[in-house]
A = this chain, B = another copy of it.
Amino acid sequence: MSQETRHATPHTSGPLLLIGGAEDKIGSKTILRRFVHLAGDHDASIVVIATASSFHDMVGERYTELFRELGARQATLLPLHTRQDAQNTATLQQLETASGIFMTGGDQLKLTAVLGGTAVARQMHQRHQAGCVVAGTSAGASAAADHMVAYGSSGIPPRKAMMQFAPGFGLVRGVVIDQHFGARGRAGRLMTAIAHNPTLLGVGLDEDTAAEIDSEGWLTVLGQGAVMMVDGLDISHTDIHLVADRAPLTIFDLRLHVLSHGYSYNIHTRTPRISDDVPLPQPATDPVRNENS
């Protein structure tokens, strides 16, 4: 950054890597490899937050091993089981020097209920603002935005009250992220989310697929599946405020984009782009069969 522009842009927030769950861990590991790259490759100092998981240590240690295998200098599981843990000085020091933060899957409501408003949540926000990459898979992806699908049911048609919102960590604003999107048939609940307030932008992430969002709002797709963007700004009518719980919703003029590996979309201007100019990892050449967890 030049001397002239430094004052105009006092900080550039780091990338977000939001993963739809079940990312490849034994084949080419495209997405996890990308995370380690964004965290600094051989200089990477990664912390893993496994609070969402019911198998905290097992899941957390699996990721720390994977990140070390992928070349990270350091990868540490933060002991974050309770709200007290999230005020611990040693933990905060580890977070402060991290070049990459990774949130595992599990239950996103546990993530926000245990970490929301704690020193760890504030510091994760500050680290991201200061340029550190933050990644989350499954529950970890959902909790990254300001509005989160806390829980809900599957199905294609949107129905009232089929999903419940909760406030997320707000690392990215104005969007709501859903994951395991195709595998669990979650189109309905994402459309229902948008109908509540069509200013929201829905991001539906397939498994083994990630959305990488840069500081200018460019979201680029990475991985085997698709990312569905659900844009409500043009909605000309919805009856969500008129119908009973569980009743199907009417929504006119929802705009959808389905993006696969390499395509981009700007979440501020809401425009898709063919991303031949965005550097992406090479396609997988690893002969090992992808056996997602």
Contacts and interface: CB of A to CB of B under 8 A. Distances in A.
A116 B199 CA distance: 5
A237 B83 contact: yes
Copies in the complex: 2
A112 interface: yes
Contact of A116 (B114, B121, B150, B198): B198
A172 interface: no
Interface stretch (A36-44, A93-101, A159-167, A219-227): A159-167
A117 B166 contact: no
A228 interface: no
Interface residue tally of chain A, by bracket?
35 or more
B165 A165 contact: yes
A195 B113 contact: yes
A241 B107 contact: yes
A199 B117 contact: yes
A57 B194 CA distance: 28
A232 B237 CA distance: 37
Interface of A: 82-84, 107, 109-110, 112-114, 116-118, 121, 146-147, 150, 161, 164-168, 176, 195-200, 232-233, 235-238, 240-242
